[in-house]
Amino acid sequence: MNQKLYEDLRAAGEYYAAELVINHDRIPLYRYASAAASYFEHAALTPYDGGMLYPCGLCINKNAENASVAVKPEFSYTYQANLGALGQKVPAAAEVLAEEFSHVVPVKPPHTVGGAGYTHSFINYRRILSEGLSGYRARVEALAACDFRDAMLRLLDGIACYRARCAAHLEEAGAPQALTDALHHVPEHPPRSVYEALVAWNFVYYVDGCDDIGGIDRGLYPYWHGEDIRDLLRELYRHIDTNDGWSLPLGPNYNELTVQCIDAAHNIRRPNIQLLVTEDMPEAIWEAAYASIGTSCGQPAFYNWDAYKREINRRLPQVTEEDLQFLAFGGCTETMIEGLSNVGSDDAGINTALIFDAYLRTHLSDCDTFDAFIEGYAREAERVIAGVCDNLEEHRKTRAQFRPQPIRTLFIDDCIDRMTDFNAGGARYNWSVINVAGLINVIDSMQVVKTLVFDEARYTPDAFLEKLDAQEPQFLADCARQPKHGNDNASVNAIANLLSERIFSEFERHTCTPGGRYFPVSNQFTTYEYAGHGVRATPDGRAANAPLCDSCGAIHGRDVCGPTALLSSVAALRLDLVLGTPITNIRISKRNLPHVLKPLTEGFFCMNGMQLQVTCASREELLDALEHPEQHENLVVRIGGFSEYFNRLSPVLKQSVIDRAEY
């Protein structure tokens, strides 16, 4: 039965799926490695675009040439599958593959804000370049005979075939001889020049599935001899942008390539450039950042090196000082160690506003004091977080057993040495981050409840809820007059500090499979719109089903006391507990960037701020882009933890960006 099904799937062009229906006497890693290898050997290549790097365009699991393939490799979930399409091509296969995929317990809604068992990562580009794939093969061949060894060798064979197919395609397309020659040499062998290093880097980026591009300045530096590679970097960035790829960390050890990496980002939304800021970061890098952000690309975002180093040393002491130099932020901005870690990102979510919605309407009349009310909410949030972590544990345990990630097992240390799959604990470091949404809405709402119900007793609990749901104008005006997060108000800051400590601390009470702990991230990207769906009206002035907060900053221009007050309010949150990264959005006019960005960033970081990202498009420019989108195709804004083309946002998200205060 399985052999017949295998042959039928191959005849239908479903090479990845075919490998999953046979060899059930071998470990899952072998079957999934064989599936990935077979896909590399048979999937249609993306057409060559005339550039100096290949592959190019969409990754082979995304390109139009493979659109009809129902089951393909994918960097986060191992595979992507359209079982309906598969059943139309090979009817008997859909049920078999559905059974194969059902072993992993899903992450359940409604608290799946931006992720449900998602796993961004960085492969170890530095080691791939320095050893070459021939070095990886030698290390694998030195292992004792077993399914793990066979799996890695099968995958290396598939990658070698893919590289040979790419080189042959380039020769047929009449590509420059330098590119063809380079791809014949790398990444099988270490590069002999910075150009070959970039060709190798680009190639393995596509092999991994176009996730995170890694620290190019530190990785390419050993092969660099003073060349200006901005055009090549720009071409690489286009590949990342085309594939909706992710992150490029820079620092804390800067070099001449750091500036070139920033310069190449002008007017393009990806990769997410994450600049680790040290106390002595050179002025040339600040100036490069001003120039880049001034093109409205939002790159780079700024990260507090001292704060991350301190918190990782305190709470992840197993991370060595040497490895910490490769601190990176995968996906939007989830904290990990480049080439050495497996970090669930975003593994799950907590919608604090959804919890507040239910708690407010059920328990407001039960509480005699505001202290009792906020304590009850904190306990309810802790209960929900514990339940989400329990669900996620079941997912991670079954994923470790049934859902290997062969490419990352090959390319992330120390999976080969441990002879252990990436998802089963092979990586050197393991932890998980869970997205927290809506907290600023809850903080602002708590302040309104405190004043109007408890301090001034202007409304009874029943009247408060009745008028809130009716959106009664005078009631909304009373709510609007209350202090809001973003203005350095002592009462609001106290609520922010209390709630953030209770909520963020709860994550660390739980341990995660295959090792490590859970940490929160505040990383809403475009999810803050749909995270508000199903959340009824909240006392902060938000209408039912409207978007939630987009970061740790103020909501929609409620910060009316200037940027220092805004950042002081953010610093009132227990940001040190948000090891997954707490996003803070700020909008600064282009003319002011060179004058205010550095002191604002340094001042915020002195208050233990962790991350700051800047949009500099003016209100006038954004409004014109609404009316004339064709004239603003390259206009980029910061959304959550990444940059996005303004024209791609929904009307609701566009308006939320326009409504941000501009400094």
The confidence score (pLDDT) of residue 658 equals 76
Q: Please indicate, yes or no, if residue 661 is contained in any of the structural domains.
A: no
pLDDT score of 408: 98
Nearest to 210 by CA among 162, 238, 163, 245: 245
pLDDT at position 656 over 80: no
Q: What is the pLDDT of residue 354?
A: 97
DSSP string spanning 78-119? Answer: EEEE-HHHHHHHSHHHHHHHHHHHTTSPPPPSSS-SS-SS-B
- The mean pLDDT of the chain is 94
Residue 320 lies in a domain: no
pLDDT band at 663 (very low <50, low <70, confident <90, very high): low
Amino acid type, 548: L
Q: pTM (2 decimals)?
A: 0.95
Residue 438 lies in a domain: no
Domain-embedded: residue 43: yes
pLDDT at residue 638 is higher than 80: no
* pLDDT tens-digit readout, 97-106: 999 999 999 9
Range of lowest pLDDT (251-260, 297-306, 611-620) = 611-620
Domain count, the chain: 1
In a domain, 11, yes or no: yes
Residues 166-209: pLDDT tens digits? Answer: 999 999 999 999 999 999 999 999 999 999 999 999 999 999 99
Q: Report d(CA 348, CA 112) in Å as an integer.
A: 5
Contact, 453 vs 542, CB < 8 A?
Answer: no
Distance CA 262, CA 243 (A): 20
Give the pLDDT of residue 111: 78
pLDDT at 538: 98
If pLDDT is split at 50, 70 and 90, which confidence band does 621 have? confident
Structure tokens at 543: 């209408």
Express each pLDDT in 537-579 by its tens digit: 999 999 999 999 989 999 887 988 999 999 999 999 999 999 9
Output DSSP code: residue 583: -
Token output for 454: 């408890």
CB within 8 Å of 250: residues ≥ 6 apart: 215, 217, 258, 261, 262, 273, 274, 275, 276, 300
Task: Output the DSSP codes for 485-511.
Answer: TTS--HHHHHHHHHHHHHHHHHHTTSB
Mean pLDDT of 451-478: 97
pLDDT recorded at residue 662: 64
pLDDT in tens, 588-611: 888 889 999 999 999 999 999 999
Q: Residue 31 falls within a domain, yes or no? A: yes
| φ/ψ of residue 459, rounded to 5 | -135, 140
d(CA 51, CA 235): 8
Instruction: Determine the pLDDT at residue 661.
Output: 64
| Segment 299-322 mean pLDDT | 97
pLDDT surpasses 60 at 380 = yes
β-strand 78-81 against 636-639: which pairing, if any? unpaired
pLDDT of 631 strictly over 80: no
Q: How far apart are the first and last CA of the chain?
A: 67
What pLDDT score was predicted for residue 653? 79
| pLDDT tens digits, one per residue of 479-530 | 999 999 999 999 999 999 999 999 999 999 999 999 889 999 998 777 778 7
Kindly give the pairing relationship between strand 334-337 and strand 429-437: unpaired
Distance from C-alpha of 76 to C-alpha of 345, rounded to nearest angstrom? 9
Lowest mean pLDDT among 14-28, 193-207, 230-244, 520-534: 520-534
Q: Is the pLDDT of residue 1 over 60?
A: no
Question: What is the number of helices (H) and of strands (E) in the chain?
Answer: 28, 14
Cα gap 61→68, rounded to integer Å: 10
Residue 37 within any structural domain of the chain: yes
Domain that holds residue 97: 2-47+59-101
- Average pLDDT of the residues in 211-231: 97
Element (H, E) at 288: helix 283-293
Residue 130 counted as domain residue:
no
